[in-house]
Each structure stands twice: as structure tokens, then as C-alpha cells.
Amino acid sequence: MALKALFARYILFQDINLLDTISLELSYILLFACLIEYIAKNKLKFPLYLMINLLLSTLFFGIAVYHSYFGNIPTYYALMQAGQVGAVKDSVTQLIQPEYFLLYADFLVMIGVLLTRKLPLYSNLKLSKTKVIGPILALSFAACLANLFLHKDEIITNSALAAETKGIFNFEALQAYYGPNGGLPQAAALTEKELKSEETIQDKINEIKGIKEIPDSERKYFGAAKGRNLILIQFESMQDFPIGLKIDGREVTPNMNKLIQNSFYFNNLYQQTGAGNTSDAEFIANTSLYPAGMVATSTFFETKAFPSMPKLLKEEGYKTFTLHADKVDFWNRVELYPSLGFDKYYALEFFGKEDLIGLGPSDEVMFNKGMPLLMDLHAKNKPFYAHFISMTSHHPYEIPADKEVFELPEKYKSSIVGKYIRAISYNDMVLGKLIDQLKAEGMWENTVLAYYGDHMGMHHTMFKEKDPEILKEFLGHEYTKIDRFNVPFVITAPGITDGGMTSDQLAGQLDMMPTLANLLGVSLNDYVHFGQDLLNHKENLIGMRYYMPAGSFFNDHIVFQPEKSFDDGEALTLETATKVPHAPYKEDYDRILKLLGLSDQYLKSLPEK
């Protein structure tokens, strides 16, 4: 088991350090072993050792697979969601490296021993409980406890670094102590006095962000699309760089490129999702609240009633529903959608199992079966808000040949980047078909259509040898974390966005909801939101955690990422990803930590649904 811990640390941290393994991991392994020796009878010892060995092997295996995609060390809570792996088995399978199976190599040896009976599976060596086992048990327990309490007041910003320097087992213990907020100190719910204070929660948010609230009557575009339908599309794994990209003179996204000419296009917007990934993006888009840190918001806050866009629009007479051709219990959406206040949700049971691609029915099926719902409400002159959640462009980006929209040059076809381009081109095609249908049914002129990417699609850990070079060829520069987290946000409102506006102002996913609310004339005066209306506020400060260490932020000039703390962090310019001194940005770091803490407190203070 100690050798497995050493091997796991090599897989995760690319370093074989026997001393670190002994000092950081061995105390927990000895604790498990001594408990078995102290409590179990002789006949039970081998089965118990076998069980612990299997559990630790599987733990290390799961952490390795998870880390290979996300770059994070999963918490015990994330590992408890392993039941969802079946829904994304194709993605997971491609992340498994052959060497991971060496974690189970000793079981093959044991099977050989069982079959040949040439070696005993356990010895008859008896160690004194009082003179040997007891003292080692006490020492190992004391070492585990000391290691835990030594680090319990430290802020964990980087999960991989924390697991490397504090120990894998100790990291999991610390996460159990910290709770779901990604290494920040536990946030207590706001008190009744704080909730009813003359200085509102929104006042505090605005003060921390340094923005001044603008009255609705003075806002640009406020109510310009009052009473129109809202169709919001969340495209799976969609980053900004494919928009406008040409390969051998051909557009990857011709429909999106054409649409942007008459849209508000925010091309400098960054993902802010947490461990809940796609479901966190749904949560952010509908609430303008930060998600939980190292756990999915939909599972950890499943009992809460979230303030949301669906609830605000229902007060305006809208019918609200969300459509996602997946199982509704995936990411606990069966609880998330009622918490967000949607009138109805349409999931796998509604869409059936025709035209399956990857995780489920294709996006063409989703839009085709969703259209009659829109047509019915349109015929009844009933305004609606429909939130479509795309799925076909999910990793590993395997689009069937008969669905291929963009014919790639041969040299790109086998690369993950090439597969991704084909998936995004498919997204473009289904969007074009939807627009044509809306126009044909007479809904286009009375609709606000908006779309955005939920999270990155191209992660460095999934690249093969030639992928970085292909991306460099497409982008004209090295692929960086700035490119990786940059997702598009496009709003089209015929008669309002005509002529188009491409904005490179800094934005985050938290800003989408306030911007749409402004256009629809929905006041947020009494609504707590951590984002801002992009049509009326220019300067911005956005935070991220989970995909980046807690305390990471984007401001108008740089992206900052801490390691253990602010002092050892790194700042890169947004324009060129050039490293610059980060000392001048300490105030922004402190402000982001305050915003994250306040959001956690606010979420805990929400009423039960």
C-alpha cells in the first residue's frame, strides 16, 4: 500500500520522493493497518487487508483519472459522485492511461499465489498489541491528527499543490473539514440582522467591486426588448476561438459569424463554473451567483430555493422551461430545476432515444422536439423563456460521419483539436437550423436569442503530441489558460442589435443574466447578483475557483493565479499572456476572496424550497 501511494504520487506530481511518501502518506496507511491488527481476529485480517488495499487502489485510480482531465485533486465529495461516470463513460475511457492499472498489479500476484499455493497469503507472525501494535497505532493516529491540525487554518488555493505538499490523505481530510467552498474558510450563513441591514447585500457587492448602481431609468437599452420571448442556448464545451476561424479558407462557424454581424458579441468573457461543470453553468446563467467551490452546486445546495431569472420572468407573465436531452438525475438536475423555479423541464424521457450521439439524443433532436413547445406558446400569444442545454459537442467529440458538417484536411482528422472543430461546426449547423425555423414560424422578430459556452473544451491534459502545434497554427500564438477559459456570449434581438457590436470588455458568466435582464426590462433592484450588466458597466473584476486555485481572478488587464498564497502567485496580461509583476494587484485578490466568501454566505442563507 505504501508503494502504491508512492506510485500514485508519481502519476499525479511526476515525482518519486520516498521521503515525502513516508512523511505524508505512511501515517494514514499505518493507521489503517494497525486498526486491522488491533481489532480483527486472525481469520479476518487477510480479507480486511484485501478490502483496504482494493479501496486505496481504486481511490488512487479515480484520483488519477480525474486529475488527468480537470487538473485538480477531487475531494471525497466529488468521488462520491462516481455513480455518474456511466453517463460520460466515453469521456472517462479516453482519460485512462495504461499505467494506471499497475495500481492493481499486486492482485494478479495474489491470484497467482492462490492458484499455485506456493506461497502463504499471510504469516503466523504475532505482534504484541500492547508492546508493538498499540504504540504504533497511537503514534500514527497522533501523526495524522498533528498533520491535520497543522494545516487546518491554511487556505487551500491549489488542490494539486495542497495534495502534493500536505499529502493525498491529509488533503481529503482537510476538504472534509473545510466543506464545499474550495479551500476557503467555512462560510457561516448571514444572520437575520445582516440580511435586513440598511446596507444591503447588493450594496456590499457593489462596494467590493467598485461599481455604482445605475437607476433603471438611466440604463442604456433597459426594456428595449420588453415582453419578448427569451431563448437561451448553452453550448457544450464551446470556447470562443472557433468563432471566425477559417481552415483552408473555409469558415468553421458560418452561421454564428453571420449572426454576430447583427448581435451584441462579448468575445472577452470567461467561464466561472465549479465542480458541477455544465450544471454549474446553468446555475450561474440563471442566478448570477457564484457556484460552490469543490462540489457541484446542484448537489450541495439541493434543498435551497434560488432567486433566479425564471422566477423573475414568471412575475412578468412568462412560461419558463428548460430542455436537456440527458437523464434528469445527472448532476442532480431533478432538484436543480425546481430550485431555479422553472415551470417545467424536458429531459431524456421526453426526447427518447433516437439519433443517439455520445451522451444521448442529438442536439438536432432536442431543437426539433422543442420547437413545437415554442410554437404552441407563440400561437397562444404567451411569452416564454426556453433554456436549451446542448450535449452533442461533449468530450470526446465523436461526431458520426453522416453528421459531419465541416470536412477537415487530412492532417487534422486524428487529432483531438480536429475532432473538437468538427463538434463545434455541428453546433453551428444546429443553431442555423433553429434560426431558420424561428423565422419560418414568425417568432424571430419577437425573440431575444442568446447563446454561450458552458466551459472549456480544449484542456492541455487531453492533448497528444501534435495538438498544441495545431492550436498554435489556428490561433497564431501558443494556446494559454486565457484561451482555454474564454467562452463566447452572443445576444441577438432583431431591431435592437442590428448592425452588431463586438465588445472586448472583460466579462464573466455571472454577467450574462444581468445583461439579459436589462434588455428585457426586468429590474434587479431587489435582487442579489454578483455579475453586472455589460451594456452599462465597463470595468470588471471576475473570480474563478476549482479550474483555477481559489483567489484567482481576471481584471481588465491581467489574469492572476495564486499557488499557496498571493505572494507566490503569477499574473499574465490578457492581451499577450506575458508574465508581469503581480504585487500591484493585491487589492483585487483580497476583493475576490471577499466576494467568494459573501456568495457562499448568501447561498447558505437562502430559504429551503
**Binding-site residue set for substrate:** 394
For 93, the 3-state DSSP assignment is helix
CA distance 557 to 485: 15
The CB density around residue 215, as the number of other CB atoms within 10 Å, is 9
d(CA 281, CA 237): 11
The residue assigned the cell 495545431 is 470
Q: Is the preceding peptide bond at 310 cis, omega within 30 degrees of 0?
A: no
In 3D space, the residue among 459, 557, 464, 549 whose CA is nearest the CA of residue 505 turns out to be 557
User: Which of 75, 219, 208, 178 is CA-nearest to residue 524?
Assistant: 219
Residue type, 328: V
Cβ distance 426 to 399 under 8 Å? Answer: yes
Residue 221 in contact with residue 215, Cβ under 8 Å? no
Q: Which residues contact 329 (CB under 8 A, 6 or more apart)?
A: none
- Residue list, annotated binding site for Mn(2+): 236, 278, 454-455
Provide CB contacts within 8 A for 169, sequence distance 6+: 24, 25, 28, 144
Which residues make Cβ contacts (< 8 Å) with residue 603, sequence separation at least 6?
A: 289, 292, 297, 301, 304
Contact 408, 422 (CB under 8 A): yes
* CA-to-CA dists, residue 486 to 105, 273, 388, 472, angstroms: 41, 12, 21, 16
Catalytic-residue membership of 278 = yes
Say how far residue 581 (Cα) sits from the centre of its chain: 29
Taking the C-alpha atoms of residue 55 and residue 241, their distance in angstroms, rounded to an integer, is 42
Closest CA to 275 of 314, 253, 249, 301: 301
Residue length of the chain: 609
Catalytic residue among 278, 287, 299, 322: 278
State the DSSP H helix or E strand holding residue 478, giving kind and residue range, or none if neither: none
Query: Under DSSP, is residue 382 helix (H, G, I), strand (E, B) or coil?
Result: coil
**64: closest CA among 109, 14, 8, 25?**
8
Q: Phi and psi for 531 in degrees, rounded to 5?
A: -95, -175
- C-alpha distances out from residue 328 to 84, 279, 281, 354, Å: 12, 11, 16, 17
Residue set of the binding site: 236, 278, 394, 454-455
What is the distance between the alpha carbons of residues 576 and 7, in angstroms, rounded to a whole number? 38
| Residue carrying the nine cell digits 486565457 | 482
Which residues lie closer than 8 Å to 104 by C-beta, 6 or more apart?
Answer: 57, 61
The answer to whether 530 and 288 are in contact (CB under 8 A) is yes
Burial (CB count <10 Å: 0-12, 13-18, 19+), residue 414: exposed
How far is Cα 74 from Cα 197, in angstroms, rounded to an integer?
A: 38
Residue 436: half-sphere exposure toward Cβ, Cα within 13 Å: 8
Q: Which are the catalytic amino acids?
A: 278
